[in-house]
Amino acid sequence: MKFGYARVSTRDQNLHLQIDALKKEGCEQIFHETASGAKSDRPQLKKLLDRMRKDDVIVIWKLDRLGRSLKHLVTLISELLERKIGLKSLNDPIDTTHSQGRLVFNIFASLAEFERDLISERTQAGLKAARARGRIGGRPKGLSGKAKSKAVVAAALYRDKQTKSIDQILKHVNISRATLYSYLRHEGVEIGSFTKNQKTPKKQMMPVSFYLRVENNSRYVRGKKRSIEAIERFVFSHYNMKKSKVNEHVYNLEIPYTNEKDLDATVYEMIQEADSQADVHNCFIEVDVQALDGSDRSWY
């Protein structure tokens, strides 16, 4: 029996194209949902997988509709093969009901494993070379000389009553908002309401749900825990962070903003900062940010 699965990321997109193609392929039942590809919790996909039996086939429009990442996709398809369930992608050379499609999938799986091994080899070689030169691994403590200079300038601008806005400081010093707050704490500056000579738009607060999943780049490197701690400390702590009691990957935050453009910029800065913190520890992230003000806004 053929089952279809369709997914779009936002409500601004529609499922018509995917559903029409799945019906044309002969799917007897189609499961569909609106959810970000970064989310691990997709109710309709789980319902579909629970429904599947031996010799059934899942049909999808493209592979990216099914998996969050190459690693997740390989794992999911491997589980389907073990259960003797087929997978067919209408726009990719994947059809595990035939030997040629299984061959292509095995090549993808081998490439994913090869990539992880290469990352591991490069990491180990780099660590070995560093130890030979007397260097000890780990992130340097405190700020670098260049960062200290920027911290002094940022603190001076923050204290200066002639400075008109935080945005001016960020532009002048060329740093992100999260980095500015880290610099101010380093210089012992009390972070409070920012005094401006000119009247500026009143700040609003946007409550958001920030889904964050951190994974190691390789099974040989373990930086996941340190990445999460760094992101919580240097990124989320500035936005009234509260961890969800239901999902360990979800954080409830409050983001100050003056307009929609300012809000978008702040969210994407947070994502970039989180990605940078994870990269330092040889990890990567999957994120999805949803507004909690009753609107359909999302960022990822």
By annotation, the residues acting in catalysis are 9
Amino acid code (one letter) for 39: K
Contact 235, 263 (CB under 8 A): no
Angle made by CA atoms 198, 204, 209, in degrees to the nearest 5? 145
Interatomic CA distance for residues 130 and 235, integer angstroms: 29
Number of Cβ atoms within 10 Å of the Cβ of 236: 22
Instruction: From residue 140, give the alpha-carbon distance in Å to each of 92, 135, 147, 186.
Output: 45, 11, 12, 15
Q: Torsion angle, CA of 156/161/162/167, rounded to 10 degrees?
A: 70
